């Protein structure tokens, strides 16, 4: 059996799979403090002594570099109680199995590549546009990770010509996240995104920022598929707008795949992350 754990800011999903990928059980545990939430997660996995590997995808920032002391930790999160929390260490103490560890969005990108919208491809970006903006990147079949993991929500972008909004990022003001995450939309227009009609100018602005971000990622990584998830992307009218702006920004420079199948919603919907955690853990067993 293979365990999977997707740790999010509001809930942690724990799941057990057979090695063939069949779901055995899945539970959702509210993300309170580690003292409150971690014992329930451990209890879930303890039910399955047959577990051979565990994959964890976590909200961040997290330490992903095995040569650094903060490997396996959630590091500087604003989330109360989780700063400098040794997530992998706690699970290593309880379970004598290999543990895969990455960001929630990297796990989602990997899950979509293995079982979702990007099957058969090796260069995949998963971007979530929700309370924050975060990107997961797979290049040549492997998750991108260097000294740290990508912080692609904080790239610097050009302002839309009609946009005077200061931006919400406490560090950069008008980085991508500061201009285009859900809270930025709400602060700019005085209404939650879900309350803005599909024809509202908010969406052209939103599409502009997201298209710029994807284009920046594209010229660096040459990705084969962009998968966009998170609450804001429930505004499905954004997809054709982003696709069109992406083509315009490219202006014929690089060859790009058919745009309608290039920038798409997640095929696994809310299961992308947990699927990726399973697949990453499975890969550890196969490497043994
Ligand atoms: P989180 O990022 O916290 O995991 P979500 O991905 O649901 O959760 O993102 C929440 C953000 O997305 C909020 O800012 C919310 O206003 C926005 N949001 C959620 N649903 C919609 C929607 N249908 N349309 C536009 N914005 C939405
Ligand atoms: Zn920022």
Q: Counting beta carbons within 10 angstroms of the beta carbon of residue 54, is it exposed (0 to 12), middle (13 to 18) or buried (19 or more)?
A: buried
Q: How far apart (Å, rounded) are the C-alpha atoms in residues 211 and 35? A: 41
Q: Whose CA is nearest to atom 19 of ligand 1?
A: 231
Q: Give CA–CA dist 193/184, Å, rounded.
A: 9
Residue 151 has pLDDT above 90, yes or no: yes
Distance CA 71, CA 148 (A): 10
Under the banding of pLDDT at 50, 70 and 90, the label for residue 50 is very high
Q: Is 114:268 a contact under the CB 8 Å cutoff? A: no
Average confidence score pLDDT of the chain: 97
- What does the pLDDT average to over 143-170? 95
Those residues with Cβ within 8 angstroms of residue 258's Cβ, 6 or more apart along the chain or in another chain: none
Q: Calculate the CA 127 to chain-centre distance.
A: 6
Q: What pLDDT was estimated at residue 152?
A: 97
pLDDT > 70 in the chain, percent: 100
CA of residue 131 to ligand 1 center, whole Å: 6
Q: How far is the CA of 152 from the centre of ligand 2 (A)?
A: 9
Cβ neighbour number for residue 144 with a 10 Å cutoff: 18
Lookup: tokens for 126: 């998963």
pTM: 0.96
Which atom of ligand 1 is nearest the CA belonging to 129?
Answer: 6
The residue whose C-alpha atom lies closest to atom 7 belonging to ligand 1 is 231
Q: Give the closest residue (by CA) to ligand 1 atom 14.
A: 182
pLDDT higher for 197 or 288?
197
Residue 70 backbone dihedrals phi, psi, to 5 degrees? -90, 15
Both tokens of residue 178?
């500061």
pLDDT at position 146 = 86
pLDDT for position 168: 98
What is the Å distance from ligand 1's center to 92 Cα?
Answer: 33
For residue 24, CA distances in Å to 3, 56, 89 come to: 10, 17, 25
- 233-248 pLDDT tens trace: 999 999 999 999 999 9
Residue 78's pLDDT is what? 86
| Residue whose C-alpha is closest to residue 217's, from 128, 124, 287, 149 | 124
Cα–ligand 2 centroid distance for 199 (angstroms): 28
The finding on whether 11 has its CB within 6 A of some atom of ligand 1 is no
Of the ligands numbered here, which is closest to the C-alpha atom of 178? 2
Asked whether 31 lines ligand 1 (CB < 6 A), one says: no
Q: How far apart are CA 274 and CA 5, in angstroms?
A: 6
pLDDT tens profile 73-110:
999 998 999 999 999 999 999 999 999 999 999 999 99
288 confidence band (pLDDT: 50, 70, 90) = confident
Which residue from 101, 164, 88, 103 is spatially nearest to 133, judged by alpha carbons?
Answer: 103
Q: What percent of the chain has pLDDT over 90?
A: 97
**pLDDT tens digits for 118-131?**
999 999 999 999 99
């Amino acid at each position: 059996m293979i365990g999977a754990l997707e740790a999010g800011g509001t809930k942690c999903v724990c799941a057990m799979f057979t090695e063939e990928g069949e779901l055995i059980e899945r539970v959702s545990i509210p993300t309170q403090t580690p003292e409150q939430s971690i014992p329930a997660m451990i209890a879930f996995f303890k039910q399955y002594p047959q577990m051979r590997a565990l994959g964890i995808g976590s909200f961040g920032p997290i330490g992903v570099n095995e040569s650094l002391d903060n490997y396996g930790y959630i590091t500087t999160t604003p989330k109360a109680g989780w700063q400098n929390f040794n997530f992998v260490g706690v699970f290593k103490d309880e379970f004598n199995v290999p543990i895969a560890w990455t960001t929630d969005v990297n796990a989602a990108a990997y899950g979509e590549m293995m079982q979702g919208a990007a099957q058969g491809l090796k260069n995949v970006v998963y971007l979530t546009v929700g309370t924050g903006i975060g990107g997961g990147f797979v290049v040549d079949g492997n998750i991108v990770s260097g000294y740290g993991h990508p912080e692609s929500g904080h790239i610097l972008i050009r302002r839309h010509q009609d946009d005077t909004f200061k931006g919400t990022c406490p560090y950069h003001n008008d980085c991508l996240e500061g201009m285009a995450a859900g809270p930025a939309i709400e602060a700019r227009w005085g209404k939650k995104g879900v309350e803005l009609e599909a024809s509202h100018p908010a969406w052209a602005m939103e599409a502009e920022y997201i298209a710029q971000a994807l284009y920046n990622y594209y010229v660096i990584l040459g990705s084969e598929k962009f998968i966009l998830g998170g609450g804001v992307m429930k505004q499905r009218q954004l997809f054709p707008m982003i696709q069109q702006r992406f083509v315009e920004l490219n202006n014929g420079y690089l060859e790009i795949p058919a745009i309608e199948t290039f920038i798409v919603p997640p095929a696994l919907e809310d299961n992308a992350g947990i699927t990726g955690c399973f697949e990453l853990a499975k890969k550890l067993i196969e490497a043994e």
